Amino acid sequence: MRHFFVSLLVGTVSLSLAIAAPAQGTPKTKKVSIVDAALGAGADHNEQIEIVLSNVPKDFKPETVEWDVFVVHDDGTAVLFQSSGVSWTVNGASTTQPPAPGHELLTKEDTDAFSLYLPAGALSNLGSLVVSLKIPPGTSAVFDGKAYPYTPPKKACSFLLCPAADKAGSAIYATGLYSPAFNSQAQYTIDAEGVLTFPVYRSRLRLGGSFNVATDNRPSADPDSYIVSGLLDWYIKASPWKRIQYVLLRTNVGEYEFDRQTTTKTIVSSPVLDFPVRLRHKGGLNTSLLPYLGVEVGSNFSNAIASGGSGLVFRGLMGSGFNGTLKTPWKFLSQIGITANYNVRLPSTNEVFTNLHYISATGKTISLPVYSTQARHHLTDELDITLQKPLALTIKHEYGELPPGFRKIDNKISIGLTVMLSHKGFSGFGDSVTRQKW
């Protein structure tokens, strides 16, 4: 009897495993993302165009598929892209267009996920899109010749501004923070930033401007930094490395740096290379690095030491940001975001650097400006808990020095509320405030 029950148990387990295990050759699903090659897969601004191929046979080879992509722009113009080897034929013309340097027409992103790269600018001002595919003779699949239509969702943006879910998707944000400071009174800080650019007709250029404010309620603010600037962006073609989404040359033109008391006034221009690296773009979790490298060149017209200023300004600039967002299924908490940014400025000429000294006898902090070429580091990291867009609870840590006076911020921790906004012409990759953190 004991052997009977043992045999029955073994048989039951074996049957369960056989049922649970997928049969050899069981059809799968494969996801194909339609991507504008100018920006790369996973670009924040790009429409999430994805088709799912069901019942894919085991011997199916995506690289042998012939693709037809019919794009209708919002002005009514239409373009037909047909795959031709490693390039695209446009509207049946005899000439072909490659997708982008460093990218194959169909790029494998994961075991069952691919990106189909269209020529640069193919998805700009998208009105609708239809994808169909033809598989080679001798292979059968239910999706052979099937049309997959796509229409972008209507944007809930008004003429001027609309709410954003996180900083990566916002062009403007403003944060009010409270910090129970040590060796001084409590601080109430305003931290605000905005970026607005417009595309130059049929080119990779964008023109616009930006502003940045970081100040608090004390007469001698910590930090005390105001920056306004013109912007010229040039989107260089996608890099040969798959995880780098694109390369952006961003030039702040005539950037005016000043403090609240206008003691320090500096004007610089700063060409900076920005090359976002996608770490993970799957499910509700998106993470990316935002490294950048450049220079700042200009002149200091006045400072706390000399009313005539220190003259030539030439700084090396390098750093990196990090963006991470996790979408949640809860109505009261739409997503959690972590952003961080570290940069270092390396002056080649003497610039003002403001040391702070606390006098215990009077309970006051005084500023001690000096000239130096020492490196100026700046680090911020924050947790943004988006309750309902555009409102987020923010916990922020900050350390280092900001231009123009480079007054030291000594491990300041704050908590407050952030309002994040976008606008109708938001491009995501260029207008996002996370791209303008230096």
DSSP-derived secondary structure for 340-395: EEEEEEEESS-EEEEEEEEETTTTEEEEEEEEE---EEEEEEEEEEEEETTEEEEE
Q: Which two three-digit tokens encode residue 238?
A: 């996608």
Rg from Cα positions in the chain: 27
Q: Which two three-digit tokens encode residue 296?
A: 């700042």
Determine phi and psi for 328, rounding to 5 degrees: -115, 160
The helix (H) or strand (E) run that includes residue 16 is helix 2-20
Q: Which two three-digit tokens encode residue 384?
A: 């943004």
Q: Which two three-digit tokens encode residue 325?
A: 């967002």
Query: Is the bond into 329 cis (omega within 30 degrees of 0)?
Result: no
Cα distance between residue 122 and residue 118, in whole Å: 6
The pTM of the full predicted model, rounded to 2 decimals, is: 0.67
- DSSP state at residue 100: B
Length of the chain: 438
- pLDDT at position 267 is 95
- pLDDT at position 399 is 92
Which residue from 284, 204, 287, 288 is spatially nearest to 250, judged by alpha carbons? 204
**Residue carrying structure tokens 């130059």:** 200
Which residue from 324, 317, 352, 361 is spatially nearest to 339, judged by alpha carbons? 324
Q: Which two three-digit tokens encode residue 128?
A: 């609708």
CATH 2.40.160.40 domain residues, the chain: 161-435
- pLDDT at position 437 is 57
pLDDT per residue as tens, the chain (438 positions): 444 444 444 444 343 444 444 444 444 777 888 877 655 444 434 455 777 877 777 767 777 788 888 888 776 778 888 887 778 888 877 666 666 555 677 777 777 778 888 877 777 777 788 888 887 776 666 777 778 888 776 655 655 677 877 777 778 888 888 887 555 567 778 888 888 887 787 677 888 888 888 876 655 444 568 888 998 888 775 555 666 767 888 899 999 998 876 588 999 999 999 888 878 766 678 888 889 999 999 999 999 898 889 999 999 999 999 989 888 888 788 889 999 999 999 999 999 998 877 777 776 777 788 999 999 999 999 999 988 888 899 999 999 998 988 988 888 889 999 998 877 655 555 556 655 556
What fold does the segment set 161-435 form as a domain? Porin (2.40.160)
- pLDDT at position 98 is 66
Cα distance between residue 360 and residue 99, in whole Å: 65
- Neighbouring C-alpha atoms within 13 Å toward the C-beta of 307: 0
Tell me how far the alpha carbon of residue 204 is from its chain's centroid: 18
Name, in order, each residue with C-beta under 8 angstroms of 132's C-beta and a sequence gap of 6 or more.
67, 68, 145, 146, 147, 148
